[in-house]
Amino acid sequence: MRLVFSILTDALAYGMVLFIISIGLSIMMGLMRVVNLAHGAFAMIGGYLASYALRDLGMHYSVAILIAVVGTILVSIPFEILLYRRIYRNSDPLMQVLMTIGITFLIIGVVNFVFGPTLKSIPLPPLLNGPLDIGFRSLPTHRLFVIACGLVTALSLWLLIEKTEFGIKLRAAVDHSNMADALGIRTEVIYAATFALAIGLGAFGGVVGAEILPIEPFYALRYMVTFLVVVSVGGAGSIVGALSASMLLGLADTTGKYLAPEFGEFFFYLAVIGIVFVFPHGLFGKSHA
């Protein structure tokens, strides 16, 4: 019972981290059809910035998160203007893969040159450190914080996309970009804003999830595949899809690590092959003809 409980908590927290980081990638792939393998690299920048703000500048945890998100978005702007605009929409996936791998390598090299190639810790504030007693059992507070962050992110994204004018325009641009253009919706602005949103979410997830996916020099490469898998299993552009895929894969991975540590990875990818083969557009994805 105790084992089941701790597996479930860990799986939920891990799944939420995957969700917060991957949902940005999912929105971007659903909207702009860019296979952005560099998404993890931006999450890594967020982590490094937060670590720098916390340890070297002595900032408060919440300020550090803000610095990480805003700083990463600022860093990403030149990439968007100079590089990503070339590969939005009708570009060859091979070129997208190559350019974003190139961006990943570049970011890994530069970030490690600037901040040093050691593992960066993100010290937690006393409020989030230690266990929290919830009546019949005590849980690590940080896990609960991560889960709460994931839920809040999912809810506010849902509100943003379903209930606001921006969301309406965004959905119009996803479904028929030429028609949206013709109706006077400025799709480049929508694209730029969505790019910033996606990168910001990635950075946020990188910082919040640093306890579970530690910030280290090869972070961007190590988790590149995982984030892409979450998106393709869930279906690009779907919040429900990303959430369920994150939970599913988080559960599969955590259970595997607890119960059969020697074969966790193997069953994970076997499951991915099975799911992608049966649902090529993901569990909740729409096919873009």
Residues forming contacts to other proteins in the complex (CB under 8 A) are 29, 35, 83, 86, 93-95, 97-99, 101-110, 112-113, 117, 217, 221, 225, 228-229, 232, 236, 262-263, 265-266, 269-270, 272-273, 276-277, 280-281
Distance in Å, CB of 39 to other proteins, minimum? 14
Distance in Å, CB of 244 to other proteins, minimum? 17
Task: Give whichever of 72 and 153 is closer to other proteins, judged by the CB atom.
Answer: 72
Distance in Å, CB of 112 to other proteins, minimum? 4
Coil, strand, or helix at residue 133? strand
Which amino acid is residue 102, in one-letter code? G
φ, ψ for residue 123, nearest 5 deg: -60, 135
Distance in Å, CB of 285 to other proteins, minimum? 9
- Distances, alpha carbon 68 to alpha carbons 79, 191, 273, in Å: 17, 22, 35
CA distance 29 to 228: 10
Coil, strand, or helix at residue 20? helix
Coil, strand, or helix at residue 138? strand
Task: Give whichever of 36 and 187 is closer to other proteins, judged by the CB atom.
Answer: 36
Q: What is the dihedral angle through the alpha carbons of 256, 262, 263, 269, rounded to the nearest 10 degrees?
A: 90
> Residue 61 belongs to what H/E stretch?
helix 61-79
Distance in Å, CB of 66 to other proteins, minimum? 28
Distance in Å, CB of 220 to other proteins, minimum? 10
Task: Give whichever of 206 and 237 is closer to other proteins, judged by the CB atom.
Answer: 237
DSSP per-residue codes, 170-238: HHHHHH-HHHHHHTT--HHHHHHHHHHHHHHHHHHHHHHGGGTS-B-TTHHHHTHHHHHHHHHHH-TT-
Return the structure tokens found at 181: 């253009």
